[in-house]
Amino acid sequence: MNEVRLAGRLVCATDAEQAIVARLLPEHIALTRAEPGCIRFEVTQIEDSRIWRVEERFAGAASFHAHQARVAASEWGRATHGIAREYVVEGLAEPDSAALDE
């Protein structure tokens, strides 16, 4: 089973988007870290900016895709859907750079 790794940035365009991320992020982190197959999940704000660094590792494609499905149906997924994401995903059968709903 190959690890799946995602790295990149969540980029808020406005103070309102930044406030949404700040409000919902603690629960999103806790829920993600509790998921089966989550090895690492870190989201950190880049010094006084609207940009958040995202780094995650999952045990394999199944756990990564389960995470994506959970996120899409969550309050986090709905509230942050329009916020720009610049992610690179490694470890899937097809390498993917995408605007995922992290």
For the chain, which residues make up each domain, given as ranges? 4-98
- pLDDT exceeds 60 at position 18: yes
Contact present, 29 and 56 (Cβ < 8 Å): no
pLDDT interval class at 48 (50, 70, 90): confident
Neighbours of 27 (CB within 10 A): 12
Task: At 3, list the tokens.
Answer: 């690890």
Task: At 67, list the tokens.
Answer: 């995470």
Could you say which architecture CATH assigns to the domain 4-98? 2-Layer Sandwich (3.30)
pLDDT interval class at 101 (50, 70, 90): low
At 38, which amino acid appears? C
- pLDDT exceeds 80 at position 76: yes
- pLDDT exceeds 50 at position 96: no
For residues 75 and 85, give the distance between their C-alpha atoms in angstroms, rounded to a whole number.
17
